Amino acid sequence: MNKEGKMSRESIEFEKIKKIIAELELHNYHYYIKNESLISDVEYDKLVKKLEDFEKNFPEFKEKMSITDKVGNDIKDTKFKKIEHKKPMLSLDNSYDTEDIKKFIERIEKAVDKDVYSLSYDLELKLDGLSISIVYEDGKLIQGVTRGDGNVGEDVTENIYMIKSIPKYLKQRISLEVRGEIVLPLSRFNKINEERLKNGEEIFANPRNAAAGTLRQLDAKIVEERELDAYFYFLIDPNKYEFNGKPIKTHGESLNYIKLLGIKTTGVCENLKNVSELEERIEYWNKKKESLDYETDGLVIKVDEIAVWEEMGERSKSPRWAIAYKFPAKQITTKLLGITWQVGRTGKVTPVAELEEVNLSGSNVKRASLHNYEEILRKDIKIGDTVFVEKAAEIIPQIIKSVKEVRTGLEIEIIPPEFCPSCKSKLIKEEGNVDFKCLNPVCPEKIKGGIEYFVSRNGMNILGFGEKIVEKFIEKGFLNDISDIYNLYLHKKELELIDKMGKKSIENILENIEKSKKNDYEKSLYSLGIPYIGKVVAKILAENSKNIDNLMLMEVETLLEIEGIGEKGANAVFEFFRDDKNIEIIRKLKEHGVNFQGEEKKEDKTNHSLEFIGNTFLFTGKLNVLTRTKAEELVEKLGGINARGVNKKLNYLVVGEDAGSKLEKAKKIETIKILTEKEFLIMSDKN
Ligand code: IVH
């Protein structure tokens, strides 16, 4: 081929590769920033492989900061302090069959002098969570940093303190850095998602996403509630330490050593002398993993002898002395029989895939989520297609892709809905939004969704008000919005006649409706069904607004100052109260006597002190004398107010040991007075 010919082939290849780079950037953004995956790991790895192959063939086209050189990045948009890793946090090369592992071992055996080193390999579980690096100084836990881009991570020390399985003190006063994985146990994951479903909150797609979302919470209390767990698998500079009176020489010893110090490991580190046992062990763990309470997506094979690590060295993003083996994904193919368009309480119309029933990792699946029409287009999915279905975790299966190779030509294109499947009104697609929306305020499905949410256990908790009853009441025209629930008593006689519901059951429902008026403000607020405002956020908003009239007046900026309120939530609250229909519903609810007023604490003012009254206090770091709860109680007792975050309204920041980002932030605001715990105690003692 002549030079010109070669150039044009390169350019054509380069055009193709540019698309792959853009695709990878998009997936990285979703995975690392939004904690969601648009494609399976296998598909992602395939794209990376394509890019790597291209870069190998045409090195002159390789970008300076190629994705292939970078470890995934989760630190754009960061709210946490950035910390540079003393040693880069590397990733691992992936393999999907034993052949790749054999090649990996061959490479090592070839490179290493076997007279000097006795080669053996450790097989460990590959935990599917988030990597973390933690530092102990003199036996005390002082820092926890996420991987970030491999060189710079996020300081999540405060959140790490909330993970019970990470010891605050080692059994010896040793300084070290260990790396491991933060996971959310499956049992916790399922519980949390059950709760979120009930609360009408978006569920976590899988335990990894849930762990990632949790670890990046600004509110350490939420981290504590979620009960994350952690396992460690890598000690930095192991040969600096002694185990059983001798310097550590192998990876196996390093894990035993950290275990001895009180650091949690999975306990799985099988020493293999050669590859012959490998296949049997892979098969064993592929089955056994199902009985573990954390997700493993594969195994890691590491050279046991640490001196070999130095000998083999590292590539830009992964060591040459370790490789990951990925278990086959929990995927299966089935037929897409049709699409049902569903209307939610917010009017969002989403496609649900109706599938030929299949058994997928133990459960029967006949519906799968497709999120939105753009996803259908992107994945090129048609009715009648054979599709790959993957179960991300225990909950909702996802359609990964269609198998175009087996198309018969009879497949039917999926047409986006023009009209609401419930009320038939014309659907709207807003600029920049992928969702089709039904804007009809009296759309029965929307009303039904809104009412079900309103009466749910986490909402107004109106017992006896099941799905069928809601449907019936809407059908009869008794319910046009949530406020009509409180008018139902006017139709008592007619209600009793519906499907012979009877006097008693209607009386019960009406009684429960009446009782619900006395619910706390946070419950009434949650029940309104403001997008993104689940149980936890509703509580925070209620605490920070005292009553709904204050909340209605809050600007987006004010809402954002509240710790625990993100951009989406703040905008949603602001928008919600700018809609006249919502204001009218709230007016009617108030008229019926629904409580939108936070409880004024009937406090004992005898202990109030001038220095505390009306002043806001916030605690950060580890207190020595008081517990956080006791300290906050003391503030209230003395007439002060407990703040939730550092902002201009904060008067005092009380700083315990190892205070982190809050202290840094407070130092920048001149009006905030910074107190040590001792100073705070003296200040409160004077009274
Ligand atoms: S060793 C330099 N061991 O998998 C050594 N990693 O895909 C790097 N992972 O970044 C890591 N289980 O977050 C190692 N037993 C294990 C692991 C493990 C899970 C994660 C880790 C790593 C990623 C690479």
pLDDT at residue 12, rounded to an integer: 72
Structural domain range at position 651:
616-685
Rounded distance between C-alpha atoms, residue 135 and residue 145, angstroms: 9
* Cβ-based burial of 680 (10 A; exposed 0-12, middle 13-18, buried ≥19): buried
pLDDT at residue 73, rounded to an integer: 46
Output the domain CATH number for residue 359.
Answer: 2.40.50.140
Q: 3-class SS at 446?
A: helix
Question: Same domain for 280 and 153?
Answer: yes
Question: Same domain for 397 and 526?
Answer: no
What average pLDDT score do residues 365-372 get? 87
CA atoms within 13 A on the CB side of 623: 20
Task: Give distance in angstroms: CA of 487 to centre of ligand 1.
Answer: 59
Give yes or no for residue 393 having a pLDDT over 70. Answer: no
pLDDT at residue 26, rounded to an integer: 76
Q: Is the pTM of this model over 0.85?
A: no
Q: Residue 466: phi, psi to the nearest 5? A: -80, 175
Query: pLDDT confidence of 3, banded at 50, 70, 90?
Result: very low
Question: Same domain for 307 and 358?
Answer: no
pLDDT at residue 2, rounded to an integer: 43
**408 is a domain residue:** yes
Question: Same domain for 285 and 370?
Answer: no
Output the domain CATH number for residue 621.
Answer: 3.40.50.10190
Rounded distance between C-alpha atoms, residue 475 and residue 320, angstroms: 67
Question: Same domain for 316 and 338?
Answer: no
Task: Give distance in angstroms: CA of 405 to centre of ligand 1.
Answer: 36
**598 is a domain residue:** no
Question: Same domain for 473 and 571?
Answer: yes
Give the residues across from 257 on adjacent strands. Answer: none
Question: Same domain for 63 and 146?
Answer: no
**77 is a domain residue:** no
The H or E element that residue 17 is part of is helix 3-28
Residue identifier of the C-alpha nearest atom 11 of ligand 1: 91
| Test site for ligand 1: of 41, 44, 179, 233, most ligand atoms within 8 A of the Cβ | 233
Output the domain CATH number for residue 149.
Answer: 3.30.470.30
**320 is a domain residue:** yes
Strands 652-655 and 673-676: parallel
Residue 487: partners with Cβ closer than 8 Å, 6 or more residues away: 478, 592
**449 is a domain residue:** no
The verdict on the CB of residue 233 being under 6 Å from ligand 1 is yes
**Angular region, 177: left φ>0, alpha ψ -120 to 50, beta rest:** beta
Residue identifier of the C-alpha nearest atom 22 of ligand 1: 91
Question: Same domain for 119 and 257?
Answer: yes
Task: Give distance in angstroms: CA of 606 to centre of ligand 1.
Answer: 57
Question: Same domain for 313 and 167?
Answer: yes
**From residue 292, how far is each of 96, 159, 184, 317 by CA, in Å?**
21, 25, 12, 29
**444 is a domain residue:** no
Question: Same domain for 623 and 543?
Answer: no
**448 is a domain residue:** no
Closest ligand 1 atom to Cα of 234: 1
Output the domain CATH number for residue 487.
Answer: 1.10.150.20
Contact call for residues 92 and 323 (beta carbons, < 8 A): yes
Q: Please identify, among 273, 294, 326, the residue that sits at the C-terminal boundary of a domain.
A: 326
Q: Residue 461: phi, psi to the nearest 5? A: 55, 55
The verdict on the CB of residue 234 being under 6 Å from ligand 1 is yes
Q: Residue 61: phi, psi to the nearest 5? A: -95, -5
Rounded distance between C-alpha atoms, residue 407 and residue 385, angstroms: 7
Q: Is the pLDDT higher at 510 or at 78? A: 510
Task: Give distance in angstroms: CA of 332 to centre of ligand 1.
Answer: 27
Residue identifier of the C-alpha nearest atom 15 of ligand 1: 126
Q: Is the pLDDT higher at 532 or at 382? A: 382
Question: Same domain for 352 and 232?
Answer: no
The verdict on the CB of residue 322 being under 6 Å from ligand 1 is yes
Q: Please identify, among 283, 310, 326, the residue that sits at the C-terminal boundary of a domain.
A: 326
Residue 283: partners with Cβ closer than 8 Å, 6 or more residues away: none
47-66: pLDDT as tens digits: 888 888 888 877 777 665 56
Query: pLDDT confidence of 75, banded at 50, 70, 90?
Result: very low
Output the domain CATH number for residue 57.
Answer: 1.10.287.610
Residues present in the chain in total: 687
Return the active site residues: 126
pLDDT mean across residues, the chain = 86
404-440: pLDDT as tens digits: 878 889 999 999 999 999 999 999 988 878 889 999 8
The verdict on the CB of residue 540 being under 6 Å from ligand 1 is no
pLDDT at residue 201, rounded to an integer: 73
pLDDT at residue 467, rounded to an integer: 83
The verdict on the CB of residue 127 being under 6 Å from ligand 1 is yes
Give yes or no for residue 339 having a pLDDT over 70. Answer: yes
Torsion of CA 643, 654, 622, 219, to 10 degrees: 20
Q: Is the pLDDT higher at 495 or at 515? A: 515
Domain count, the chain: 5
Rounded distance between C-alpha atoms, residue 110 and residue 493, angstroms: 88
User: 201 is written with which tokens?
Assistant: 């909150």
Q: Residue 368: phi, psi to the nearest 5? A: -145, 155
Rounded distance between C-alpha atoms, residue 144 and residue 320, angstroms: 26
How big is the CA angle at 573 (ends 568 and 577), to the nearest 5 degrees?
A: 145
The verdict on the CB of residue 355 being under 6 Å from ligand 1 is no
Q: Please identify, among 377, 402, 437, the residue that sits at the C-terminal boundary of a domain.
A: 437
The verdict on the CB of residue 122 being under 6 Å from ligand 1 is no
The H or E element that residue 123 is part of is strand 121-127
**456 is a domain residue:** no
pLDDT at residue 152, rounded to an integer: 92
Rounded distance between C-alpha atoms, residue 178 and residue 159, angstroms: 17
Question: Same domain for 374 and 518?
Answer: no
Rounded distance between C-alpha atoms, residue 614 and residue 564, angstroms: 23
Rounded distance between C-alpha atoms, residue 570 and residue 585, angstroms: 20
Residue identifier of the C-alpha nearest atom 17 of ligand 1: 126
